[in-house]
């Protein structure tokens, strides 16, 4: 046998050497090698390599240019690539369809998630000078222990900031109010609505936030104490098509009672703003009335303060002067309770993405957004993996084509280009379909999650992303198949042997299944947690609870009188089990965040508690469990100056046992009250937070909400009768009602949105993975048709063969599941930490996804496999 010259050295020589010299040099080197190798093969090989290297000189180099290498012009080759790509596309229509739909679904999911993320991160971007505007955040430190930060400040903060801090150019305060608004259109026609999004603010509000104005001058619109600015939709609601400027709106009841003249109309506040008002009123009247008349500006924390800084003044010094400000202005009042405050400035654009602030607007956590970003990436990768898998699965089929092309003289580079071109073509088709899909589906997704989403094709970033997806997708999905397919040896391809499937393909499928599994398991956990939160016993009745909004137009005493008889009348309706009035209802804010301590305790023992004013029927109507003491009795006057607390309050305020607590005197700020009873804990707010100390304060009638507990039965009928009584008692009041369980569950809206999106994209991921499995199964089956035929001839049954073929897919799914259980466990555990009351991760949360994925895999793979197994051996064994 002849010794071989070193292959790599020889290839290297052939690669660099000019064709005029290659004969001479290679010939001479080989001749020398042939003379030398008998002495020592290793030495001869080494010498050969050394000589090749020493020949690597400019004199012998070939000219490296595209033209001399390929004789076809670029355009001709492109044409050829296109023809081949197209032929391959149409030759296997099913295959191409699977491929394209997988890519399209993946890219479309990616685009939709991007649009959603873009929307969530675009909050308040539309406001000019948004980079200079900040919201003041106040953190109370009780005995140096920081409490939850709050947006609420007193109304004295804004003007004081403006005068004390030179860096502050402008400071405004806002306050949200809800009341009944009516418009007298002619002598008989009166339009009355409950309005919950009324913004009370300084006249300079529109200097800081330049909302686009429709009519009227915003700069002066709030100068007059009795002026009002409304949004377009409010103008339409009350005035129809008439000119709104100069019209009068009546606000009834509460602190804003009076008649206001419309001075300007602004566009509706866009959804991607943390503001959600539809009426703006000047603050003047509010500060002159009610509790604020006696307030020096530092008592009631009911205002949000915004500051606009002079350009470029936010620095370390600003933080220090804020600390100084808090020390001099805020702390003195609270020194005796050992409370001090810290102030922070929160950039306007961060408000929406900064959860965890008390009394804040609806926010979204950046973690959630990262979660979705990761999902988008995963789905895209899954789709690309599909392409890789399907393309390499066709390798044996394509190998003949490669072999013939190589025989005719195709260079490997050309083949790589050809396969890349094919993947580019498929990717482009996929992306076009994806864009169409996205345009159609995005508004629906928007409805789904309650956001106005749309794909804005005039946005340059969209085109950038599409370009990146096209190029990136073509390369990522095309490179591996291109190299694998073009590497076939001519001799092998023309006489195909049974090729083993590359293990990379299996690894990729495992990755797909792992991703799908994590998403499916995640979906299960999210839904279980949501269901758990909604169905868990909250310690008070939320189901079958009809909440009617109290009268707004009547004076306090009149309202109390009429509600009192309304209560009596409603109780008479059969099917009504109870009715109670209160100043707040579960799921809404408490009425009073108050510092509470035992009357005999030191001032610094005070802890924050939540107080709500209720009437004497509240505890029985809401079926709150009294553990000790008794309920309020309106006939005993001392009862009406006592308080009923929950167990958490007993513990936090250090009142001893439940029985010891009854009768103890506690201080609410400066009011002393006796504890009349102790109830078990209840979830006034969402189950995300733990039980908090809660105090129920008695009143004969409260006029804000009336809660009616209904026995199941004909609910519409009861609502109608309640409405009739309401209208009889209070003819000028709007009858507005809601169901408590619905309004309570609004608190889980972001979780619900999260869950909905999760289930959608988990489904998509599974669907895309299934497409891949489907394609692969059909391929593997076709490949093994002969084997199947022989097995059948030898006596295997159809079911034997089907099981044999399916089992390899099931094994992959099971293997991937085992890998992904810890991943899913960690991820879900992490998510669940955000809830004070949470479900335990149970085994079935992982078992069900495994079964589900196995079942889905069988559904995708089964029919194809069975079809393959049913093929008659005569058909497949006749050839060759």
Partner 1 sequence: MKDLYLGEFEELVLLVVAALHGEAYGVSILESLEVRTGRRYNISAVHVVLKRLEDKGLVNSHFGGITEKRGGRRKKFYLITAFGRKALDAQYRLRTGLYELILKIPFAR
CB 16 within 8 A of CB 61: yes
Q: What is the DSSP letter of 588?
A: S
Task: Name the residue nearer to partner 1 (CB basis): 35 or 492.
Answer: 35
Residue 55 or 792 with smaller CB distance to partner 1: 55
Measured distance CA(724)–CA(718) in Å, rounded: 10
Helix residue ranges per DSSP H, 332-453: 366-393, 395-408, 412-449
CB of 871 to partner 1, least distance (A): 49
Structure tokens belonging to residue 230: 């409304």
Q: Which stretch binds partner 1 (CB under 8 A): 24-32, 171-179, 201-209, 357-365?
A: 24-32
Give the Cα separation of 111 and 464 in Å (integer). 12
3-state secondary structure of 785: helix
Q: Does 5 bind partner 1 (CB under 8 A)?
A: yes
Nearer to partner 1, 30 or 847 (CB): 30
Nearer to partner 1, 24 or 324 (CB): 24
**Looking at beta carbons only, is 23 or 568 nearer to partner 1?**
23
Minimum CB separation of residue 17 from partner 1 in Å reads 11
Query: Binding residue for partner 1 (CB under 8 A) from 6, 12, 16, 32?
Result: 32
Distance of closest approach, residue 11 Cβ to partner 1, in angstroms: 13
Give me the 52-81 binding string for partner 1, x by CB under 8 A, dash otherwise. --xx-x-xx---------------------
Please tell me whether residue 654 binds partner 1 under the rule CB under 8 A.
Answer: no
Q: Which residue has the tokens 């609601």?
A: 237
- Interaction of residue 30 with partner 1, rule CB under 8 A: yes
Nearer to partner 1, 27 or 240 (CB): 27
Query: Which CB atom, from 55 or from 590, has the smaller least distance to partner 1?
Result: 55
Segment near partner 1 (CB under 8 A); pick from 28-36, 201-209, 587-595, 636-644: 28-36
For residue 488, the minimal CB distance to partner 1 (Å) is: 25
**Nearest partner of 739 among 531, 540, 539, 547, judged by Cα:** 547
Q: How far is the CB of 101 from partner 1 (least distance, A)?
A: 52
Asked if 123 and 353 count as a contact pair (C-beta separation under 8 A), the reply is yes
Which one of residues 27, 146, 288, 496 is an interface residue with partner 1 (CB under 8 A)?
27
Residue 23: CB minimum distance to partner 1, A: 5
Give the whole-angstrom CA distance, residue 38 versus residue 604. 99
| Rounded Cα gap, residues 1 and 497, in angstroms | 27
Report how far residue 161's alpha carbon sits from residue 13's, in angstroms, rounded to the nearest whole number.
79
Contact 611, 592 (CB under 8 A): yes
The H or E element spanning position 282 is strand 279-282
CB of 789 to partner 1, least distance (A): 45
Residue whose C-alpha is closest to residue 247's, from 195, 182, 194, 188: 182
Separation of alpha carbons 582 and 706, rounded Å? 7
Is 652 an interacting residue with respect to partner 1 (CB under 8 A)? no
Q: x/- site string to partner 1, residues 140 to 179, per CB under 8 A?
A: ----------------------------------------
Nearer to partner 1, 4 or 310 (CB): 4
Distance CA 185, CA 191 (A): 7
State which of positions 604-633 bind partner 1 (CB under 8 A). none
| Residue number with CB closer to partner 1 (5 or 591) | 5
- Cβ closest to partner 1, residue 22 vs residue 432: 22
The whole-angstrom separation of Cα 360 and Cα 352 is 9
DSSP letters for 2-20: PPPPPHHHHHHHHHHB-HH
Residue 296 binds partner 1 (CB under 8 A): no
Cα atoms in the 13 Å half-sphere on the side-chain side of 872: 3
Query: How many CA atoms within 13 Å lie on the side-chain side of 61?
Result: 7
Q: Does 28 bind partner 1 (CB under 8 A)?
A: yes
Closest CB to partner 1 among residues 19, 537? 19
Query: Which of 3, 11, 24, 867 touches partner 1 by CB under 8 A?
Result: 24
Residue 769 binds partner 1 (CB under 8 A)? no
Nearer to partner 1, 22 or 573 (CB): 22
Residues 398 and 493: their CA atoms lie apart, in Å, by 9
Using alpha carbons, select from 847, 789, 843 the residue that is nearest to residue 817. Answer: 847
3 binds partner 1 (CB under 8 A): no
CA distance 419 to 81: 8
**What is the smallest separation between the CB atom of 52 and partner 1, expressed in angstroms?**
9
Q: From CA 704, how far away is CA 719, in angstroms rounded?
A: 18
Interface residue with partner 1, options 6, 12, 16, 22 (CB under 8 A): 22
Interface segment toward partner 1; rule CB under 8 A; list 19-27, 430-438, 624-632, 641-649: 19-27
Among 3, 11, 23, 87, binds partner 1 (CB under 8 A): 23
- The answer for residues whose C-beta is within 8 angstroms of residue 443's C-beta and 6 or more apart is 453, 454
**Of residues 10 and 644, the one with the C-beta less far from partner 1:** 10
**How many angstroms separate the CA atoms of 116 and 112, rounded?**
6
Q: Which helix (H) or strand (E) holds 530?
A: helix 503-535
51 near partner 1, rule: CB under 8 A: yes
Binding segment for partner 1 among 25-33, 234-242, 345-353, 848-856 (CB under 8 A)? 25-33
Q: Closer to partner 1 by CB, 13 or 208: give it.
A: 13
Tokens of 544: 């079958």
How many residues of this chain bind partner 1 (CB under 8 A)? 20
Rounded Cα distance, 607 and 545, in Å = 32
Residue 31 engages partner 1 in binding (rule: CB under 8 A): yes
Binding characters for partner 1, 557-576, by CB under 8 A (x = yes) = --------------------
Residue with tokens 């008479």: 572
Contact call for residues 758 and 217 (beta carbons, < 8 A): no
3-class DSSP state for residue 625?
coil
d(CA 69, CA 165): 74
User: Applying CB under 8 A, which part among 16-24, 223-231, 232-240, 613-621 lies near partner 1?
Assistant: 16-24
Question: In the complex with partner 1, which residue's Cβ is closer, 59 or 63?
Answer: 59
Positions in 394-453 near partner 1 (CB under 8 A): none
Q: Alpha-carbon distance 880 to 527, whole Å?
A: 56
Phi, psi of 102 (to 5 degrees): -60, -50
Residue number with CB closer to partner 1 (36 or 295): 36
Q: Applying CB under 8 A, which of residues 9, 29, 304, 673 lies at the interface with partner 1?
A: 29
Comparing CB distances to partner 1, the nearer of 55 and 562 is: 55
Rounded to 10 deg, the angle between the 412-449 and 93-120 helix axes is 50
Interface with partner 1 (CB under 8 A), residue from 21, 126, 592, 735 = 21
Q: Are strands 133-142 and 145-146 parallel, antiparallel or unpaired?
A: antiparallel
User: Which residue of 16, 26, 479, 848 would you call a contact of partner 1, by CB under 8 A?
Assistant: 26
Return the number of the residue (47 or 429) whose C-beta is nearest partner 1. 47
Q: Among 93, 164, 126, 531, which residue's Cα sits nearest to residue 327?
A: 164
Could you tell me the CA-to-CA distances from 813 to 440, 800, 855, 863 in Å, in that order? 33, 20, 10, 18
- Among the listed ranges 51-59, 258-266, 359-367, 585-593, the one in contact with partner 1 (CB under 8 A) is 51-59
Three-state DSSP state, 537:
coil
Q: At 665, phi and psi to the nearest 5?
A: -100, 135
Q: Which stretch binds partner 1 (CB under 8 A): 48-56, 191-199, 477-485, 795-803?
A: 48-56
Site for partner 1 contains 34 (CB under 8 A):
yes
Q: Which of 6, 25, 736, 796 binds partner 1 (CB under 8 A)?
A: 25
> Which residues are at the interface with partner 1 (CB under 8 A)?
5, 21-32, 34, 51, 54-55, 57, 59-60
């Amino acid at each position: 046998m002849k010794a071989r010259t070193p292959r790599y050295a020889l290839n290297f020589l052939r690669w660099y050497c000019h064709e005029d010299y290659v004969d001479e040099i290679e010939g001479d080197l080989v001749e020398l090698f042939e003379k030398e190798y008998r002495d020592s093969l290793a030495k001869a090989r080494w010498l050969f390599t050394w000589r090749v290297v020493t020949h690597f000189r400019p004199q012998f180099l070939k000219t490296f240019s595209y033209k001399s290498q390929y004789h076809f012009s670029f355009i001709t080759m492109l044409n050829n690539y296109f023809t081949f790509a197209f032929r391959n596309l149409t030759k296997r229509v099913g295959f191409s369809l699977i491929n394209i739909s997988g890519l399209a679904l993946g890219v479309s999911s990616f685009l939709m998630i991007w649009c959603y993320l873009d929307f969530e991160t675009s909050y308040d971007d539309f406001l000019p000078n948004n980079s200079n505007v900040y919201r003041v955040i106040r953190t109370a430190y009780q005995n140096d222990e920081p409490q939850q930060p709050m947006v609420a400040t007193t109304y004295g903060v804004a003007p004081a900031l403006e005068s004390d801090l030179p860096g502050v150019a402008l400071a405004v305060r806002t306050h949200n109010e809800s009341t009944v608004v009516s418009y007298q259109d002619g002598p008989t026609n009166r339009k009355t609505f409950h309005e919950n999004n009324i913004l009370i603010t300084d006249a300079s509000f529109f200097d800081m936030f330049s909302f686009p104005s429709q009519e009227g001058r915003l700069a002066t619109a709030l100068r007059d104490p009795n002026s009002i600015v409304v949004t377009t939709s409010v103008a339409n609601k009350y005035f129809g098509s008439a000119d709104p400027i100069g019209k009068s709106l009546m606000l009834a009841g509460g602190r804003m009672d009076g008649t206001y003249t419309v001075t300007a109309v602004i566009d509706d506040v866009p959804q991607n703003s943390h503001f959600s008002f539809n009426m703006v009123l000047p603050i003047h009247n509010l500060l002159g009335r009610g509790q604020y008349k006696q307030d020096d500006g530092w008592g009631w924390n009911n205002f949000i303060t915004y500051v606009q800084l002079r350009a470029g003044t936010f620095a370390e010094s600003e933080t220090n002067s804020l600390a100084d400000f808090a020390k001099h202005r805020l702390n003195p009042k609270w020194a005796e309770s050992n409370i001090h405050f810290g102030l922070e400035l929160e950039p306007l654009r961060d408000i929406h993405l900064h959860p965890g602030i008390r009394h804040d607007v609806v926010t979204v956590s950046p973690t959630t957004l990262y979660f979705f970003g990761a999902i988008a990436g995963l789905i895209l990768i899954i789709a690309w993996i599909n392409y890789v898998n399907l393309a390499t699965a066709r390798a044996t089929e394509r190998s003949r084509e490669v072999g013939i092309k190589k025989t005719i003289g195709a260079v490997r580079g050309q083949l790589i280009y050809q396969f890349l071109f094919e993947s580019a073509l498929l990717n482009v088709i996929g992306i076009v379909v994806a864009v169409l899909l996205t345009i159609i589906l995005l508004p629906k997704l928007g409805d789904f999650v309650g956001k106005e989403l749309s794909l804005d094709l005039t946005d340059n970033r969209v085109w950038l992303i599409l370009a990146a997806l096209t190029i990136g997708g073509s390369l990522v999905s095309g490179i591996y198949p291109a190299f694998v397919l073009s590497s076939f040896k001519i001799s092998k391809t023309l006489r195909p042997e049974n090729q083993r499937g590359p293990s990379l393909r299996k690894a990729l499928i495992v990755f797909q299944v792992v991703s799908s599994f994590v998403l499916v398991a995640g979906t299960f956990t999210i839904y279980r947690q949501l269901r758990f939160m909604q169905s868990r016993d909250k310690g008070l009745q939320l189901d079958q609870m009809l909440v009617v909004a109290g009268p707004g137009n009547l004076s306090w005493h009149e309202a109390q009188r009429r509600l009192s008889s309304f209560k009596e009348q409603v109780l008479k309706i059969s099917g009504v089990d109870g009715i109670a009035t209160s100043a707040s209802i579960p799921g809404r804010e408490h009425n009073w965040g108050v510092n509470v301590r035992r009357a005999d305790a030191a001032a610094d023992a005070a802890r924050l508690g939540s107080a709500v004013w209720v009437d004497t029927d509240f505890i029985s109507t809401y079926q709150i469990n009294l553990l000790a003491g008794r309920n309020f009795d309106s006939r005993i006057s001392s009862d009406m100056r006592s308080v009923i607390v929950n167990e958490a309050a007993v513990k936090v305020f250090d009142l001893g046992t439940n029985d010891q607590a009854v009768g103890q005197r506690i201080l609410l700020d400066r009011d002393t009250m006796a504890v009349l009873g102790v109830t078990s804990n209840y979830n006034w707010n969402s189950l995300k937070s733990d039980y908090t100390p809660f105090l129920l304060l008695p009143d004969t009638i409260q006029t804000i909400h009336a809660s009616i507990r209904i026995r199941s039965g004909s609910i519409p009928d009861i609502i109608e009768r309640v409405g009739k009584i309401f209208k009889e008692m209070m003819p000028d009041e709007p009858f507005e009602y809601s169901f408590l369980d619905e309004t309570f569950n609004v608190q889980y809206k972001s979780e619900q949105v999260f869950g909905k999106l999760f289930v959608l994209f988990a489904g998509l991921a599974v669907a895309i993975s299934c497409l891949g499995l489907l394609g692969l199964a059909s391929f593997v089956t076709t490949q093994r048709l002969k084997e199947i035929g022989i097995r059948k001839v030898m006596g295997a049954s159809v079911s034997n063969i089907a099981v044999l073929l399916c089992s390899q897919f099931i094994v992959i799914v099971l293997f991937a599941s085992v890998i992904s259980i810890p991943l899913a466990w960690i991820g879900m555990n992490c998510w669940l930490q955000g809830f004070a009351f949470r479900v335990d991760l149970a085994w079935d949360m992982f078992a069900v996804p495994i079964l589900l994925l196995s079942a889905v895999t069988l559904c995708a793979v089964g029919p194809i496999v069975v079809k393959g197994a049913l093929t008659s051996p005569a058909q497949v064994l006749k050839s060759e």
